[in-house]
């Protein structure tokens, strides 16, 4: 990757490509309605949300996903360069940077949340960047691990995305998809209808065109493995475990 020093640094965020706030405005509008715009103090706690967090139950499930990934990293003894794609307010890479000496890069196209991430999480092995990954902002096979933590649903074409990520994934690198829904092919249509109604009720119907529903069939051309497979019935009834899979893809 090009040296970050070559790019503009604004409010703690490196600007790697032209800023376009169209998606950010719509996304933040929905997040505000959902009460997912958190204070700096709350973001610093995540995924261990406060008792007053309106999504406390959801975060308890995400704690488990985080702890599983943290255990996975603890078994890797070499130093890694890690890419947190769609990092949002930065909690995932921010918390990991406190516990490991790997080098972390959080990327998003949401300036407001990136600036919050840079305020809240300040470690010498951590950088937050604004970048459109489909622009030519990377050179070489730079990253050992690429993580999409609850972000794959904002990419319309998984095949296109994974092929792009392979361009800057190290030869022995891995892509990890965490805490994102995957559906049987037979459920895609009904899931889209539910999303459409959900965003219409929020007076943000255009967001339905920015949220995408993927199935495991879309991954068939890649070498992938489920590192965590949800027990759907237990997850839905008791909500003790995440209903979302953990997927690892290697070249």
- The domains of the chain are located at 4-250
Angle CA 226–62–198, to nearest 5:
95
Q: Classify domain 4-250 at the CATH class level.
A: alpha beta
pLDDT at 233: 45
- Torsion, Cα 106 110 116 119, to 10 degrees, reads 50
SS3 category, 200 = helix
C-alpha separations of 173 from 14, 80, 176 in Å = 24, 10, 10
| 221-238 tens-digit pLDDT | 999 999 999 876 444 444
Looking at residue 239, what is its pLDDT? 61
Which residues neighbour 188 within 8 Å (Cβ) at sequence distance 6 or greater?
213, 215
Q: What is the pLDDT of residues 123-134, one digit of tens each?
A: 999 999 999 999
Provide the pLDDT for residue 140. 79
Residue 70 has which token pair?
């943290």
pLDDT at 1: 59
Predicted pLDDT at 136: 76
CB atoms under 10 Å from CB of 27, counted, come to: 22
What residue ranges of the chain have pLDDT lower than 70? Answer: 1-2, 232-239
- Position 241 scores a pLDDT of 82
């Amino acid at each position: 990757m090009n040296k970050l020093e070559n790019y503009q640094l604004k409010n703690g965020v490196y600007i790697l490509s032209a800023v376009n706030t169209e998606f950010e405005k719509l996304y933040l509008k929905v997040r505000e309605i959902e009460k997912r715009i958190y204070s700096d103090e709350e973001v610093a706690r995540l995924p261990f949300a406060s008792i007053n967090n309106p999504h406390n139950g959801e975060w308890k499930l995400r704690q488990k996903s985080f702890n599983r990934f943290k255990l996975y990293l603890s078994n890797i003894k070499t130093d890694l360069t890690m890419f947190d794609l769609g990092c949002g307010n930065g909690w995932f890479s921010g918390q990991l940077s406190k516990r490991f000496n790997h080098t972390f890069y959080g990327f998003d196209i949401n300036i407001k949340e990136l600036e919050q991430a840079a305020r809240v999480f300040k470690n010498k092995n951590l950088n937050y960047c604004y970048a459109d990954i489909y622009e030519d902002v990377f050179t070489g096979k730079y990253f050992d691990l690429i993580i999409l933590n609850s972000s794959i649903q904002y990419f319309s074409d998984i095949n296109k995305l994974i092929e792009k990520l392979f361009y800057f994934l190290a030869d022995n690198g891995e892509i990890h998809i965490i805490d994102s829904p995957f559906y049987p092919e037979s459920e895609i249509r009904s899931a889209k209808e539910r999303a459409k109604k959900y965003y219409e009720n929020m007076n943000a119907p255009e967001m339905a065109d920015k949220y995408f529903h993927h199935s495991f069939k879309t991954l068939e051309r890649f070498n992938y493995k489920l590192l965590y497979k949800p027990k759907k019935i237990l997850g839905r009834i008791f909500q003790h475990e995440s209903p979302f899979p953990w997927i690892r893809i290697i070249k």
